[in-house]
A = this chain, B = another copy of it.
């Protein structure tokens, strides 16, 4: 490894900016992050936010390549990077949107997202994690699940994203546990494996129970002193159960690779294993970096 920054990999989401300063041999010199997510920036604010985080590391007299994935390429982001449409390989830097900058030391590209016409769906950032997983697991054929605020299920075949669906599970959990009447009954910590498993099972076998059982968490704490951690596990189980019921065409009879931070992936793993689905775990941040490296490498060969 040498310490000259050759290019910069960046994951720019709604609530975070994460960069890796890369050397010429594919090694990471340094990882940095900031809270300057797309959600708090106007288009004019992106370049200054990037310079604040990496300006001191940019060599003079040369334009350093910056390859970005994620919401920075959304309509409300830095510059809109169009979508590639499934079926397609995860986009490379060749298809990326080149963004003009004031600072001559930057040469910025934003990777395109992926869209699906019917049923209408979009992703930005997850396609790069998928690219990273495929770079490490060439020839993988099966399902990739990316749990999170907006969980994605993608069918992968012959190196392509064939189809995918998005579920608002993480956002629903945050809204219900933090802002609805359930906030009085659902604790911010605590867990109960049995309550989670039972809730998953109930909603998967009878998905209409979701609407009926949500308020039961509030009533259960008022009438029967339902524990806040148990309520938390049950709410998570209901929402993940609803997601699994809807995503059944994806995972039934398939192997599933779960790409996520371990805290987010763990309940999905438990729920899928209860359905006898073989699950492989992979860390989402690592997959993002590998995907950015793959995108950059593709560009270099053209």
A120-B224, A222-B122 known; A215-B179 Cβ under 8 A: no
Residues of B within 8 A of A207 (CB): 206-208, 210-211
Say whether A158 faces chain B, with CB atoms less than 8 Å apart. no
- Interface segment among A62-70, A104-112, A163-171, A288-296: the answer is A163-171
Report yes or no: A246 in contact with B168, Cβ–Cβ below 8 A.
Answer: no
Say whether A25 faces chain B, with CB atoms less than 8 Å apart. no
Residues of B within 8 A of A248 (CB): 208
Residues of B within 8 A of A180 (CB): 168, 171-172, 175
Say whether A219 faces chain B, with CB atoms less than 8 Å apart. yes
Residues of B within 8 A of A120 (CB): 216, 219-220, 222-224, 226
A83: nearest chain-B partner, CB-CB: B223
Q: Give Cα A210–Cα B207 distance, bound, in whole angstroms.
A: 9
Report yes or no: A181 in contact with B150, Cβ–Cβ below 8 A.
Answer: yes
Report yes or no: B179 in contact with A175, Cβ–Cβ below 8 A.
Answer: yes
Considering residues A209, A212, A216, which has the most beta carbons from chain B within 10 angstroms of its beta carbon? A212
A207-B208, A223-B115 known; A171-B167 Cβ under 8 A: no
A108-124 near B? 1/0 per residue, CB < 8 Å: 00000001110111100
Say whether A245 faces chain B, with CB atoms less than 8 Å apart. yes
Residues of B within 8 A of A239 (CB): 211
Residues of B within 8 A of A223 (CB): 83, 115, 117, 120, 122
Report yes or no: A216 in contact with B121, Cβ–Cβ below 8 A.
Answer: yes
Cβ contacts A to B, 19 pairs, < 8 Å: A75-B222, A83-B223, A119-B213, A120-B226, A122-B218, A122-B222, A122-B223, A150-B181, A150-B215, A168-B182, A168-B214, A207-B208, A207-B210, A207-B211, A208-B242, A209-B246, A210-B246, A211-B239, A211-B246
